[in-house]
Amino acid sequence: MIRGGLILLMLAFPSPAMAQSPLLIESTRKQTAPPPTTITTIIKDWQVTCPNPALHTKQQASCTMEPIATAYKGSNSISRFFGRMIRVKNKAVPVFVVQTPLDLLLSSGITLKVDRRRSVKMAYRSCHADGCIIPFQLSGKIKTSLQRGNQLKLFLKTLNAKTEQTSISLIGFTKALKMLETSDQHSAMPSRLHNTTMQTLN
């Protein structure tokens, strides 16, 4: 009885230390997670990732559009395929970049083919420590083909002239591109990256 009475007394008249200490549940409620640095929108087989507008100004932000998944045939396929809005002569245009590993036959370039349409061959622009890149402005027949097509295939050659293939679904590409083009978040990429050699093949 005495012990039970002491417990009731302590609950009725808590010590100053207990009175000043916040409850654990109240402390947990006050802790809020930081806002995400980016916001990703999934559109079928594509995604558009933009910096959180609450954390970035329009001049600092840049959205990126890329496929969610790719199918590879070989060990030296492309590393990444993505697009961004770039300012060229004060006009925002979509520019896509194909990034590949270094150990490839660079003189052969890379070939793009949408469904059964004509292939387009492109030359490598430059190589860096993290790989080689082929940037190209999305316009004309290439843009139309990607918007109307179902699958994009990219072919490249290894150092022993073996052909490697990467397949990318184009389902959701058109809507993702529209979202990218209508966004007001543009960045400035050096104009030298826009230049690339393209050749239409039969």
The CATH classification number of 38-200 equals 2.60.40.1880
Say which residue, 202 or 163, is predicted with more confidence. 163
- Per cent of the chain over pLDDT 70 is 72
pTM score of the predicted model = 0.75
**pLDDT tens, residue by residue, 144-180:** 999 999 999 999 999 999 999 999 999 999 999 999 9
pLDDT of 190 reads 42
**Quick one: average pLDDT of 40-63?**
84
In the chain, where are the structural domains located? Answer: 38-200
**pLDDT tens, residue by residue, 71-115:** 877 777 889 999 999 988 888 999 999 999 998 999 999 999 999
Provide long-range contacts, Cβ within 8 A and 24+ apart, for 78-84: 78/110, 78/154, 78/156, 78/166, 79/131, 81/154, 81/166, 81/168, 83/138, 83/177, 83/180, 84/180, 84/187, 84/189
Name the pLDDT band for 193 (thresholds 50, 70, 90): very low
